[in-house]
Amino acid sequence: MAQLLAATQYDIGGIEVNRLLPHMKKRMVGPFIFFDHMGPSHFSQGRGVEVQPHPHIGLSTLTYLIEGNLVHRDSLGNHLEIAPGDVNWMTAGKGIVHSERESFETRGKPHTINGLQSWVALPEQYAGIAPSFEHVDRHALPQMVKGGVMIRVIAGQAYGMTSPIKTYSPMFYVDLIATKGSTLALPSNTQETAIYVIFGTISIEGCTYKSGDLILLDDLNSDVKTIEDSRVILLGGDKWHVAPYIHWNFVSFSKERIEQAKLDWQSGRFPEIPDDNLEFVPLPTKNKKTD
């Protein structure tokens, strides 16, 4: 059996976003507490992405682009550009600030942004660790090709391969491109699993799903086939029996910690981004997430 989780639309920093997690039917899939598909958003020359400095606690953010380039800056001093297939993995821990913008070269011509952003909740014992950041080039990610299916392990462990990214709980995040008529083996028969269709059409136990669908699998022995050439993301991990609280960009098992983070951001007690400190996203009055 499978359950379709419909998206909610947002505009964040000029990017059209379909938000799949958290969902009213399912707050988390494994450690994944947040899952966005950004775009595809098309910009004319001179226009582009403007995600101003904003804070996080209690999670790791994962950025994975399909098209376009983004410039990441953070309060640890990191400043680099992410390209399609690369991975940005930022662990907020006790607190970090970052921004996402574009280079002169990207903003100076018509361009498209299309990619995935996820939040991976930190287990309670790691929620207050020091913040850190990893950028992994696509060529350093493990991958294999078999029977018309290309597989890349972005984070975690799957199909006997392990991503170099340091994770804090059992999980998998996998990119697959498969030709029509392929059968997709699932990474695990014990962990919570969801499938996101980037393009193409797939069949799960006789039901058809298309681009933009996030499908939560109830039966980990489900038969998953491609009806046409398709690209999908498989994500999941060990089930969390207690979900942390989430408010704006803050994740914590303690409501008091979230209230403290809100006060710290309003009072300017979070660290600044060295080369991007002239503006910031104010704390929203409503529970609206910005990333």
Residues 86 and 65: beta-carbon distance below 8 Å: yes
Residue 241 annotated as lining a ligand binding site: no
Asked if residue 181 belongs to a domain, the reply is: yes
14 found inside a domain: yes
Predicted local confidence at residue 137, as pLDDT: 97
Residue 139 labelled as part of a binding site: no
- Model pLDDT, residue 46: 96
Q: What is the pLDDT of residue 286?
A: 66
pLDDT digits (tens, 9 = 90+) for 23-54: 988 999 999 999 999 999 999 999 999 999 99
CATH of the domain at 91: 2.60.120.10
- Cα(173)–Cα(155) distance, integer angstroms: 5
How sure is the predictor about 288, in pLDDT bands with cuts at 50, 70 and 90?
very low
Whether 277 is covered by a domain: the verdict is no
- Look at residues 94, 108, 26, 64 and name the one whose alpha carbon lies nearest to residue 233: 64
Q: Which of 269, 218, 246 is closest to 97 using CA atoms?
A: 269
Measured between alpha carbons, how far is 59 from 57 in angstroms, rounded to an integer?
6
Residue 265, pLDDT above cutoff 60: yes
Helices (H), the chain: 104-107, 255-266
pLDDT tens digits, one per residue of 48-61: 999 999 999 999 99
- The domain of 10 spans 2-237
Are the C-beta atoms of 226 and 201 separated by less than 8 Å?
yes
Q: Is 247 marked as a binding-site residue?
A: no
Provide the whole-model pTM: 0.94
- State residue 11's pLDDT score: 82
Checking if the pLDDT of 240 tops 80, the result is yes
Domain count, the chain: 1
Flag whether 223 is in a domain: yes
**How much is the pLDDT for 79?**
98
Token pair recorded at residue 61:
């953010």
C-alpha dist (Å) from residue 277 to 263, 272, 284: 19, 6, 19
What count of Cα atoms within 13 Å lies in the side-chain half-sphere of residue 100?
25
What tens digit of pLDDT does each residue of 137-159 get? 999 999 999 999 999 999 999 99
pLDDT tens digits for range 62-119: 999 999 999 999 999 999 999 999 999 999 999 999 999 999 999 999 999 999 999 9
In a domain, 244, yes or no: no
Q: Write down the pLDDT at residue 290.
A: 45
Task: Report yes or no on 124 lying in a domain.
Answer: yes
pLDDT digits (tens, 9 = 90+) for 187-237: 999 999 999 999 999 999 989 999 999 999 988 888 899 999 999 999 999
120: which 2 tokens? 């991976």
**Torsional sign, CA 135, 138, 143, 147:** positive
Give me the helices (H) in 144-268, please.
Answer: 255-266
Q: How far apart are CA 67 and CA 192, in angstroms?
A: 28
Q: Give the dihedral sign, CA 198/174/238/97.
A: negative
Do the Cβ atoms of 250 and 57 come closer than 8 Å?
yes
Structural domain includes residue 279: no
Question: Amino acid identity, residue 164?
Answer: P
Strands 8-12 and 15-21, sheet pairing: antiparallel
Instruction: Please check if 100 is assigned to a binding site.
Output: yes
Instruction: Using only the alpha carbons of the chain, give its radius of gyration.
Output: 18
Instruction: Report the Cα–Cα distance between both ends of the chain, in Å, rounded.
Output: 32
**Residue 29, CB-side half-sphere exposure with 13 Å CA sphere:** 26
Gap between the Cα atoms of 138 and 43, Å rounded: 25
* 275 vs 92: CA distance, rounded Å: 19
